Amino acid sequence: MIRRTGNKLASGLLLAVVAGIGAVFAGQAEAAGGPCQRIVVTGNPQYPPLLWVDPEDDRRLIGAGVELLQMALADTDIQIEVLNVGPWARAQQEVRSGRVDMLAGAFLTPERLGYMDYVYPAYVEVPSVIFVRRGQAFPYAGWDDLRNKRGSTLVNNSFGAAFDTYARDHLRIDMVSSIEQSFRQLLLGRADYVVYERYQGLALAEQLGIADQLDILDGSLINEQLHYTVSHKSACNSPALRSALAVGMHRLSTQGEPRRVVEKYRQIWAEQFIEVADEAAESEVLD
């Protein structure tokens, strides 16, 4: 059984998001009748080093997923607008509706195939794991060992069709609006484990200052391929766009670019916390 909880976005933020998307769409009004010159992209804003909110403009997303998409379409005249529309669940809904053209990263699930086209090849393989409180690891040999425990994860997140189906039928997992909330539940003893992507979870734990309070269960690795996707309802979804994306991603993959770019943004993400730590140390010296 999967239970969903979480706070609603403030009405002001909703209005800002709608207004921002609407302004971009104004420039796309003729896309259905001719070449698409601009595509609107979004994704999970809590997904470093692939995607996170631009610290200089919270309406935008930055990360490896953005740069790789720009590189894939570098030989076209298409402009890419990567917007932060809110939590991951809202990002998926915006693409489902066609108000946003693409997701900059999604695992393949039967439900998502119903409203998006997937770009091949995938641009990165993402490992997901089971996080527990430090010192509170329990015997784990497979998913059956999660049956009598309470889990938490991000609403509308997927860990591959096999795990999603098993979790729906056999596990008790709270679905919450942010991964911070999941980690908070874990540390307060309101959840026994959190299932989330390994590197994204560790990066966010570093940001929250709780990395030293978490462990990862041995043997809990779940590997899934992450793809760019295009909404079925997007006015820009055309054979030309899908071909350009596929050709571009094939070229980048054969050149090894995804690995290089992901590592580049992993360092960019980590450097933020080095700078914060240095500033804190300088402040203590001055005091």
pLDDT score recorded for residue 86: 96
Identity of the amino acid at 21? I
Of 124, 135, 78, 137, the residue nearest 102 (C-alpha): 78
Identity of the amino acid at 287? D
Dihedral of the alpha carbons of 268, 272, 277, 280, in degrees to the nearest 10: 150
Is the distance from CB of 88 to CB of 157 less than 8 angstroms?
yes
119: tokens are 């770009």
Nearest-angstrom CA–CA distance, 211 and 234: 40
Nearest-angstrom CA–CA distance, 178 and 160: 19
pLDDT (tens, 9 = 90+) of the chain, 287 residues, equals: 555 555 444 444 444 444 455 544 444 433 433 458 999 999 999 999 999 999 999 999 999 999 999 999 999 999 999 999 999 999 999 999 999 999 999 999 999 999 999 999 999 999 999 999 999 999 999 999 999 999 999 999 999 989 999 999 999 999 999 999 999 999 999 999 999 999 999 999 988 999 999 999 999 999 999 999 999 999 999 999 999 999 999 999 999 999 999 999 999 998 887 655 445 445 554 45
Nearest-angstrom CA–CA distance, 202 and 255: 28
pLDDT score recorded for residue 36: 86
Nearest-angstrom CA–CA distance, 13 and 17: 6
pLDDT score recorded for residue 201: 94
DSSP 166-217: HHHHH-EEEEES-HHHHHHHHHTTS-SEEEEEHHHHHHHHHHHT-GGGEEE-
Regarding pTM above 0.85, the answer is no
Is the distance from CB of 36 to CB of 52 less than 8 angstroms?
no
Q: Is the peptide bond before 49 cis (omega within 30 degrees of 0)?
A: yes
Residue-range domains of the chain with CATH:
10-27+34-124+225-279 (3.40.190.10), 126-223 (3.40.190.10)
Number of neighbours of residue 50 by Cβ within 10 angstroms = 29
With 0-12 CB in 10 A as exposed, 13-18 as middle and 19+ as buried, what is 202? middle
